[in-house]
Structure 1
Amino acid sequence: MEALEARVEALCEQGNALADLEDHAGALGRFEQALALLPEPQDSHPSTLWVCVAIGDMLFLLERYPEAREFLRRAVALPDGLGNPFIHLRLGQCAFELGDKRRAGDELARAFMGAGDEIFDGEDAKYLQFVRSILLPAQDA
């Protein structure tokens, strides 16, 4: 079991290094390999959450929104997934890009309320503007 954990960790480290180089497709491949190594039932394995988040993140960055949403939905359903601001951020961004503004507002609000403006640092400004328009609607004078 320790050898398996070491292999999963090594693949994730390689994936993170590739992601840092903006090789999102290469990183995705490493994260998918890591997920494939996890024993069944995968969702009871503690590493599944972060591997699914990493896969969802790479798929989002590759603009493969429906697939990203599926991995992020899986992640949010795992222990410690619900309430994680980053997972809610990516879920909201996927919903936004897929035209589901109601779901986008809900998920982006969860991210905003969990981590504030900082969670949107480095992201397209349209997401923060959208969530602010929901949470802080313009006041009539």
Structure 2
Amino acid sequence: MELHDELYERIVSICSQGDDLVNSFEFENAIKTYLKALDLVPEPKQNWEASTWIYTALGDTCYMNKDYDASKDFLFNAINCPDGIENPFIMLRLGETLYELGDVNKAKEYILRAYILEGYSIFENEEDKYFDVIKSEI
């Protein structure tokens, strides 16, 4: 579903502020900013495309902040939003998060999904340990 233009523009503007904070390594403030954007999305949140990228931004930022439990929760929410299950970045970041939480078997599942959707190129900026999880599967 699509949001009204005015609301959509407000959400995009707030998320852009969050992106700027991430680029400045101000992860806690970025998370707070993304949550403000998410608050503007009507219920049920999982029905809106905007929620897909807001939850993804939250999960990614929490991952960078090494808050893997929160990252996992946000990324599982992203999967349940429009096109989330088909997004290779969400699959990869969720797999990496699960890996960091010590759930290597579940991590393998999501990392493999990312590889199937995007190919090896998705690993170009990632640590080798994540690709190593699926090497024997491909």
Bigger CA radius of gyration: 1
Aligned partner of 2:54 in structure 1 is 51
The normalised TM-score by structure 1 is 0.88
Aligned partner of 1:139 in structure 2 is none
Q: 1:46 to 1:83 in 2, by over 3 A?
A: closer
Question: Offset at 1:52?
Answer: 0.5
User: Take 2:107 and 2:19, find their aligned partners in 1: how far apart are those partners?
Assistant: 27
Q: Size of the alignment, in residue pairs? A: 135
Q: Would you identify which runs of 4 or more consecutive aligned residues in structure 1 move more than 6 Å?
A: none
Aligned partner of 2:91 in structure 1 is 88
Gaps of 5+ in 1: 137-141
Percent of aligned pairs sharing the same letter:
33
- Given that residues 46 and 80 in structure 2 are in contact (C-alpha distance below 8 angstroms), is that contact kept between their aligned partners in structure 1? no
Matched AA of 1:23: E
Aligned partner of 1:124 in structure 2 is 127
Aligned partner of 2:137 in structure 1 is 135
Question: Offset at 1:43?
Answer: 1.6
Gaps of 5+ in 2: none
Question: Offset at 1:18?
Answer: 1.8
Identify which of 57, 60, 65 aligns with 2:63.
60
- Given that residues 48 and 81 in structure 2 are in contact (C-alpha distance below 8 angstroms), is that contact kept between their aligned partners in structure 1? no
User: Take 2:55 and 2:40, find their aligned partners in 1: how far apart are those partners?
Assistant: 13
Aligned partner of 1:27 in structure 2 is 30
The normalised TM-score by structure 2 is 0.90
Matched AA of 2:22: A
